[in-house]
Amino acid sequence: MKLIFTGLILAVCLLARETTAKDTHIDFCPASVKNLFIITIDGFRWQELFSGADSSIINDERYTPDTSTIKSMYWAPSFEERRKRLMPFFWNVLARRGCIYGNRSFGNKMNVANIYSLSYPGYSEMFTGQADIRISSNNKVENPNINVLEYLNSQDDLAGSVAAFTSWNVFPFILNTNRSHVNLNSGYEGVRGDDPLLELEGEVESKAVYNKTGTRQDQLTFVAAKEYVQKFKPSVVYIGFGETDEMAHLGRYDLYLEKAAQIDQMVGDLWHWLQANPAYKDNTTLVITSDHGRGKTSSKWTDHGFFIKGSSETWLALMGPNITTRGEIRSQEQIYLKQLAQTIASLLGKRFQPGVNIAAPIAIR
């Protein structure tokens, strides 16, 4: 009876989110670009993105052992200054040239549509355009749903020009590379076969020191991605950073902030390189988001999931020649992570049609 009751609760919650999601924008991007870079920052809260370091956590020595040093790096009286200290590229460049959704302080909301608020369900929703109730954990099982990277890689003009680099080693299952054949470098597992990434193994590993865990150091993931982009000039690239979530689960707010700041710097470095390269200059769009939120309070921020309030709350940033400059969006609206799959296709002038009903794209107006 308990299992039946739990199942009924989950079904009702999913139906409620699906019903709400119908009130989202239904429109396609009016112009497309040649190249698209998708970047995710695992488990990074909207609170830090929009307001910088949280005073209740940065002053708590349980989570920030060297409070004075971390405050000297990331603390300031106003939230505008704090967020610029933490993520200067986001707020000095991206916010001035693109748009950022998800500041709930102004009623601008972005949520995951899946009821679990875990990483695998979040990434699956993001790339498949649907919240599949069957995908309920982070277990390494192959995703039965077609993803948008797989779809793009099947298009004649993009075949072989789609690549993914992820710190978390579950992505071969999330993107189902056995079926999708998306060119993926993930975790510390070596690539096999005739994959062109093979030639990068030696030089990439020589540039970073790492510990073998389920999540590779983000800086190594970035080096691998950038080396690949420089050599092969792919049109669609996904980079999945993971250390923010890892540090949060360890209860290290100082390292969580440090990893977020490092990712901001790497994204800025990537954007500068893209704009300096003729193959990407003025025809490349960035899409940056997160797979889930985290607990809202100082005692719950380390975790996320179905029973932790705030876990479904996330955010989205976009910048490129086909993105209207709107900065920090303060209008009241609701968008969902599952809209990203069709949005990604739309930005490239495509329509993602995997044979099932998926969420409409976000209107980039």
- Indicate the pLDDT class of residue 193, thresholds 50, 70 and 90: very low
Exposed/middle/buried for 128, CB within 10 Å: 0-12, 13-18, 19+?
Answer: buried
Average pLDDT over residues 63-71: 97
Structure tokens belonging to residue 135: 């995908």
Rounded percentage of the chain residues whose pLDDT exceeds 70: 85
- Indicate the pLDDT class of residue 52, thresholds 50, 70 and 90: very high
- Contacts of 8 by beta carbon, 8 Å cutoff, 6+ apart: none
- Whether the full predicted model's pTM is greater than 0.95, yes or no, is no
Structure tokens belonging to residue 150: 């797989």
Give me the torsion for CA of 109, 115, 116, 122, rounded to 10°: -50
pLDDT digits (tens, 9 = 90+) for 342-360: 999 999 999 999 998 999 9
Structure tokens belonging to residue 189: 């597992």
Structure tokens belonging to residue 331: 């209008």
pLDDT for res 189: 64
Q: Which amino acid is at 365?
A: R
User: How big, in percent rounded to 5, are the helix, strand and coil portions of the chain?
Assistant: 40, 15, 45
For the cut 60, the answer to whether the pLDDT of residue 199 exceeds it is no
pLDDT digits (tens, 9 = 90+) for 121-164: 999 999 999 999 999 999 999 999 999 999 999 999 999 999 99
- Indicate the pLDDT class of residue 25, thresholds 50, 70 and 90: very low
- Indicate the pLDDT class of residue 27, thresholds 50, 70 and 90: very low
For the cut 60, the answer to whether the pLDDT of residue 19 exceeds it is no
pLDDT digits (tens, 9 = 90+) for 226-260: 999 999 999 999 999 999 999 999 999 999 999 99
- Indicate the pLDDT class of residue 201, thresholds 50, 70 and 90: low
Q: Which residue spans within 103-182 are E strands per DSSP?
A: 108-111, 162-166
Distance of CA 167 to the CA centre of its chain: 12
Domain 2-347: give its CATH code: 3.40.720.10
What distance in Å separates the CA atoms of residue 323 and residue 329, rounded to the nearest whole number? Answer: 13
- Indicate the pLDDT class of residue 213, thresholds 50, 70 and 90: confident
φ, ψ (nearest 5 deg) of residue 353: -130, 80
Domain ranges of the chain: 2-347
Give me the torsion for CA of 184, 303, 116, 144, rounded to 10°: 20
Rounded percentage of the chain residues whose pLDDT exceeds 90: 82
Higher pLDDT, 203 or 174: 174
What distance in Å separates the CA atoms of residue 314 and residue 323, rounded to the nearest whole number? Answer: 20
What distance in Å separates the CA atoms of residue 44 and residue 33, rounded to the nearest whole number? Answer: 28
